Amino acid sequence: MKVKKSLIGLLLSAMLLSMLNVSGYAATYSTANSNANQKTKDVYNWLGNLPNNSSNRVVSGFFGGYSNSGFSTSQMESLKSMTGQYPGIFGCDYGSGWATANDPTTLIDYNCNSALKTYWNNGGLVTIDIHYPSPGPSNGGNLNTKLGNFSDLLNTSTSTGQRWRAYLDKTAAGLADLQSAGVTVLFRPFHEMNGDWFWWGNQDANTFKNVWIDMFNYFKNTKGLNNLIWVYGPDISRGNKTAYYPGGSYVDIVGLDAYSDDPSSISGYSEVTGLGKPFAFTEIGPRTTGNFDYTKWINAIKSQFPQTVYFFAWNDSWSPTQNSQGANNLMNDSWTVNRGEINIGSTPTPTPTSTPPSGTNLALNKSVTVSSTDMASNPGYAAVDGNMTSRWSSAYTDQESITVDLGSVQSVNKAVLYWETAYGKNYQIQTSTDGSSWTTVATKTNGTGGTDTLSFADINARYVKMNGTQRGTQWGYSLYEFQVYGNGTSTPTPTPTPTATPTPTPTPTPTPTPTPTPTPTPTVTPTPTPTPTATPTPTPGSGSIKVQLVNGSTAASSNQLYPKFRVINTGTSSINLTDLKVRYYYTKDGSQSQAFSVDWAANGNNAIPTSSVSGSFVSASGTNTDTYV
């Protein structure tokens, strides 16, 4: 149910969020519920990777109404008739919190499940939210009236706590019915919690978090609900959008409920995406109902909010059908994924169909240089990290390239390219020993994507390049992996010097060699000064550590930085992470207070407590910097 909400200003304090990943830059999304069933895991990973797809797909969604108060598929069918498309996501609200009843649990209803099951079986996704009646009064209702004590929800010895538990039981019954039918649910409780128009809104933040966590654990552990993707959705028109966030262990998707006549001017996107979860517009619509053109929404998503995984349009007078041209533009844009296009388990994170070649991938975790990237989340190094779910993707032009530095001259004879949907139709594999003079060793013509294996005669090279000349799609070039194979460090590097060794004829110059008098200088070398060279051997500075960086968010309007670090141990000995320090240099405006936080850290596949990563701000002087952390 939509209500009028007055707009207020939003102030964001400067914030630095840091992500430290000491293993690899992964694009695999894992559900907050570790017990989630495989289908739910697949749906979540598929959604999370949509913005990482070169085509920047976003799933459409539409609200069907309240389960016991006007829920219907008729408006959705009208949208289909108008646009030729069914939305990718169809939703229902289990609650009618404005109503009253002698038994308020009857105000929670899941009769819409039948339609949702059908929609799922026809290839769509499903979402559920709940406008809960207040558990304070014995007859419910009071959707907009605050409880006397919000923490009573956690205390089943109180009448409020008992009614709340009954509400949860009724909700769980509906969700379990969907689970038994194999349906995954995008579950969005307590939406717009940062507003003051619902009884659960604008509460003490810590108490709210505890209530959310209690619901999560009750549904997971007591009710055995493993089909839920948990969605956190504050409202754009109030501040504190992240203040009620219970933590990444209890949320899968973060979003914004957004009603605006000018979607491009919406604030809060950088703040919420900074939480490090996939992002969605969990409700969208115009602020003033009527003949609103939803073209504005899809244009805003493409230009301002490209990390959006789905949008969920409201019905009735907020519906896209109020303007047929806008509805058509929204539902038929090249970015929009509708029902019938959702293929869980394949795109956008396919596994390669070809068996990896035998031998050592010489490009694995090596340095790369790219001509461009389409977004920070698709960096060049993702094409050499050994992870088939992360990728590099270029800008949308024909002349693009990626070059891997093997670190030294190697004997190479094969390149294997694992393309994402956006592939190279025509391109060359080029090699170089110095990074300046290039030799074309293989040419691909009329490629069709998938996996390309290009073999060529053995050649010595330090640098190997994919030089794109024509894209296969309207997008750029997108590689899951760029692999290089060969005989490895070849004797060729020494072989040129042997040709010089035949100059033994100059060896008659041994007469100068009597200058063994200088050789006593080796006696100086025995001095303990050489022995300290033992200290360099363990030091990572000799090339055993490599640091890579992606700036997740640097928008000035958001007043936050969100760098993501990847630290690679390229040596053979272990590294004590307690000794690891990374400096990040930047400039700031004025003398605003700054805060440092870490939202995720891992060593390989093992999580590291974020509390173990600390940071401090230091003033610095230098070109383009005044501070580092």
Q: What is the 3-state secondary structure (H, E, C) of 207-243?
A: HHHHHHHHHHHHHHHHCCCCCEEEEECCECCCCCCCC
Q: What domains lie within the chain, and their CATH numbers?
A: 29-337 (3.20.20.80), 367-488 (2.60.120.260), 545-628 (no CATH)
Task: Choose among 344, 320, 328, 310: nearest CA to 59.
Answer: 310
Mean per-residue pLDDT for 305-318?
94
Phi, psi (degrees; rounded to nearest 5) at 388: -80, 5
Helix boundaries (H) for 21-132? 38-49, 74-83, 113-121
Residue pair 47/342 in contact (Cβ under 8 Å)? The answer is no
Q: Structure pTM? A: 0.56
Q: Check residue 256 and report its DSSP letter.
A: E
Evaluate if residue 561 carries a pLDDT over 60.
Answer: yes
Task: Choose among 365, 349, 350: nearest CA to 484.
Answer: 365
Mean per-residue pLDDT for 103-127?
95
Letter string b/e over residues 270-290, b meaning 16 or more CB atoms within 10 A of that residue's CB? bbbbbbbbbbbbbbbbbbeee
Task: Choose among 291, 287, 295, 284: nearest CA to 326.
Answer: 295
User: pLDDT class for 9, splitting at 50, 70, 90?
Assistant: very low
CA–CA distance, 564 with 599 (Å, rounded to integer): 10
65: left (phi over 0), alpha (psi -120 to 50) or beta: left
CA–CA distance, 127 with 306 (Å, rounded to integer): 21
User: pLDDT class for 20, splitting at 50, 70, 90?
Assistant: very low
- Coil, strand, or helix at residue 104? helix
CA–CA distance, 581 with 586 (Å, rounded to integer): 16
The neighbour count for residue 378, using CB atoms within 10 Å, is 26
- Coil, strand, or helix at residue 83? helix
pLDDT at 405: 96
Cis before 357 (ω within 30) = no
User: pLDDT class for 52, splitting at 50, 70, 90?
Assistant: low
Task: Choose among 378, 437, 352, 368: nearest CA to 403.
Answer: 368
CA–CA distance, 198 with 176 (Å, rounded to integer): 26
Strand partners, 453: 416
List active site positions: 192, 283
pLDDT at 540: 40
Percentage with pLDDT > 70 across the chain: 76
Q: Check residue 116 and report its DSSP letter.
A: H
User: pLDDT class for 555, splitting at 50, 70, 90?
Assistant: very low
Task: Choose among 278, 236, 277, 209: nearest CA to 57.
Answer: 278
- Coil, strand, or helix at residue 402? strand
| Contacts (Cβ under 8 Å, ≥6 apart) of 317 | 289, 290
pLDDT single digits (tens) 418-441: 998 789 999 999 999 999 999 999
Helix boundaries (H) for 283-335? 295-304, 324-331
Mean per-residue pLDDT for 358-376?
89
Highest mean pLDDT among 390-394, 514-518, 562-566, 577-581: 390-394
Task: Choose among 361, 383, 438: nearest CA to 548.
Answer: 383
Q: Is 509 exposed, middle or buried (0-12, 13-18, 19+ CB in 10 A)?
A: exposed
Residue pair 366/407 in contact (Cβ under 8 Å)? The answer is yes
Evaluate if residue 105 carries a pLDDT over 90.
Answer: yes
274/599: higher pLDDT = 274
CA–CA distance, 226 with 248 (Å, rounded to integer): 17
**What distances in angstroms separate CA 509 from CA 455, 497, 500, 514, 516, one per listed residue?**
48, 19, 16, 9, 13
Evaluate if residue 534 carries a pLDDT over 70.
Answer: no
Q: Is 320 exposed, middle or buried (0-12, 13-18, 19+ CB in 10 A)?
A: buried
Segment among 1-5, 116-120, 248-252 with least mean pLDDT: 1-5
User: pLDDT class for 547, splitting at 50, 70, 90?
Assistant: confident
| Total length of the chain | 629
pLDDT at 510: 39
Which helix (DSSP H) or strand (DSSP E) does residue 76 occupy? helix 74-83
CA dihedral sign, ordered 484, 490, 492, 494: positive
pLDDT at 55: 56
Extended strands (E) in 297-399: 308-313, 336-337, 367-370, 392-393
Q: Is 350 exposed, middle or buried (0-12, 13-18, 19+ CB in 10 A)?
A: middle
| Contacts (Cβ under 8 Å, ≥6 apart) of 497 | none
CA–CA distance, 194 with 208 (Å, rounded to integer): 10
Which helix (DSSP H) or strand (DSSP E) does residue 176 occupy? helix 159-180
Distance in angstroms between the alpha carbons of the first and the last residue of the chain: 45
User: pLDDT class for 203, splitting at 50, 70, 90?
Assistant: very high
> How distant is the alpha carbon of residue 351 from its chain centre?
18
**What distances in angstroms separate CA 436 from CA 164, 363, 404, 548, one per listed residue?**
70, 19, 13, 24
221/19: higher pLDDT = 221
- Work out the mean pLDDT of the chain and round it to a whole number: 81
Mean per-residue pLDDT for 194-204?
95
- Coil, strand, or helix at residue 318? helix
- Coil, strand, or helix at residue 115? helix
CA–CA distance, 602 with 615 (Å, rounded to integer): 17
Mean per-residue pLDDT for 338-344?
86
Task: Choose among 180, 223, 50, 59: nearest CA to 127.
Answer: 59
pLDDT at 600: 56
